[in-house]
Amino acid sequence: HVSMGATAVRQAEMIMTHTETIVAIELLAAAQGIEFRRKNGVSKLGQGTAVAYKLVRQHAPFIAEDCYMAPLIEAVRELVHDGAIKRNVETAIAADQ
């Protein structure tokens, strides 16, 4: 019999990287949406959302015009991969309880 474990692990790693990239793109889109809402006078964010937004914006500024987004996506993907967003949001929420 032939073990396919190594192949499965490689595929799982690729799937995780792709998933982190998708989450990073979603976080960037959400941050952009928050900026647009603020321009229309809506600025209140939930506690966890505010922490995540601030962290994303520390690594990826508002995008005012077309640009090459790969570096921004990668910076936010690293936050997802490292667990920084999850840790910071959980810490902020736990401190409030």
What pLDDT, on a 0 to 100 scale, did the predictor assign at position 7? 92
CA distance 93 to 48: 6
Amino acid present at 44: K
- Name residue, tokens 């889109």: 29
CA distance 89 to 95: 10
Q: Are 63 and 32 in contact (CB under 8 A)?
A: yes
The pTM of the full predicted model, rounded to 2 decimals, is 0.88
Q: Where are the domains of the chain?
A: 5-96
Element (H, E) at 17: helix 5-39
Segment-wise mean pLDDT, segments of 10 residues, the chain, 97 residues:
86 97 98 92 90 97 96 98 97 89
Q: Are 69 and 24 in contact (CB under 8 A)?
A: no
